[in-house]
Amino acid sequence: MRERGISIWFFIGLSLLVNGILIVSAGVWQIFNPPANPVVLFRLHANVWWGATLLVFGLMYCIKFAPTRQG
């Protein structure tokens, strides 16, 4: 798939990267501004570590399958 145009994996990386940035940002904001009605297990700050995981995978895929690295 990579020899002709942008790889699907680049689009997936872009999606994970943008979603990861948005989710981590929301999680960090909530650490400093705790909500009045937190979700269950709020103390685990899932949006920070899950968002960070998506961000890291997204970044890896964006770099590995960047259109500028192809062909």
Partner 1 sequence: MITAAAMYVAPRLVHLSAVDAAIIIFYFALVLTIGFYLQRRANTGEDFFMAGREMTAWIAGLSFLSANLGSLELMGWAASAYQYGILATHWYWIGAIPAMLFLSIVMMPFYYISKTHSVPGYLRLRFGESSRALSAISFAFMTVLMSGINMYSMALVMKVVLGWNINFSIWVSSLTVAAYVALGGLRSAIFNEVLQFILIWAGALLVPILGLIEAGGWSNLKLQIARNASTEYTHLWSTLGSFDNNPMGIHWTGIVFGLGFVISFGYWTTDFLVVQRVLAAQDLRSAKLAPIIGGAFKMLVPFIVILPGLLGLAVLPMKLTGEAMAVATGGHSYNEVLPLMLARYCGPGLLGLGITALIAGFMSGMAGNVSAFTTVWTYDIYRALINPRGSDHHYVNMGRWCTIFGVLISVGTAYLVMQFASIMDYVQALFSFFIAPLFGTVILGMLWKRATGPGGFWGLLVGTLSSIGMWAWVKADHGALRYVALSASARDMAENMYRALWSWIICVLVTVVVSYMTQPKPIGELEGLVYGVTAIPHEAEVPIYQRPSFWAAIVGVAFVVLNILFW
Residues that bind partner 1 in the complex, under the rule CB under 8 A:
1, 4-6, 8, 11-12, 14-16, 18-19, 22-27, 29-30, 35, 38-42, 44, 46-47, 50-51, 54
DSSP 38-55: PPTTGGG-HHHHHHHHHH
48: left (phi over 0), alpha (psi -120 to 50) or beta: alpha
19 or 66: CB nearest partner 1: 19
18 or 66: CB nearest partner 1: 18
Contacts of 8 (CB under 8 A, 6+ apart): 1
**Shortest distance in whole angstroms from residue 12 CB to partner 1:** 5
